[in-house]
Amino acid sequence: MSKKNYSVKPVVIFTPKRYETEFGIKNPNPWETDPDELAENSVKASRKLYEKFSDIGLGNPDPEPVYYYLQPDVRHVCAMAFGAGEPRWIERDSMFWFDRTDR
C-alpha cells in the first residue's frame, strides 16, 4: 500500500483597497464586469504579488487566468430576507454594502 503525501497550500489575499493602493489594480463589480476582465485582474494581481513578494513564495511569474464562480453572499441573502434592500457596489472600497442611510 502506497503512502499518500498531502499538503496544504496557503493562500494570501489582500483587501481590494490594498491591491489598488499597492499595485494600482482596481477590483471592479463582479456582477457587472466581463468574466475575461475579472480573470485578467487575477493574472495581474498574481504577477504583482510575485514581483513584490516572490522571496516569500507569493504570486506567480506566469499565472493562469482564474474564472471565479459568482454566487450571492449568504449574508446578503439573509439580510434581504429580513427586509434589507439590495446591497450596492461601493466603488471607493471595491465591495458590496447595504445602504443604511434611510434608517
Q: Is there a domain that residue 3 lies in?
A: no
Work out how many domains the chain is built from and give that number. Answer: 2
Q: Can you give the pLDDT of all 103 residues of the chain as single tens digits?
A: 677 888 776 667 788 888 888 888 888 888 888 889 989 988 999 999 999 988 988 888 998 888 877 776 777 777 778 877 777 788 777 777 766 665 4
How far apart (Å, rounded) are the C-alpha atoms in residues 16 and 29?
A: 11
**DSSP H or E run through 23:** helix 16-23
Pair 20, 51 in one domain: yes
Q: Is there a domain that residue 83 lies in?
A: yes
> What are the start-end ranges of the E strands in the chain?
88-90, 95-97
Q: Is there a domain that residue 22 lies in?
A: yes
Q: Is there a domain that residue 95 lies in?
A: yes
Q: Is there a domain that residue 63 lies in?
A: no
For residue 97, how many other CB atoms are within 10 A of its CB?
A: 11
| Tens digit of each residue's pLDDT (9 = 90 or more) over 45-73 | 999 999 998 898 888 899 888 887 777 67
Q: Which residue segment(s) compose the domain that 47 sits in?
A: 13-56
pLDDT at 99: 66
Pair 51, 76 in one domain: no
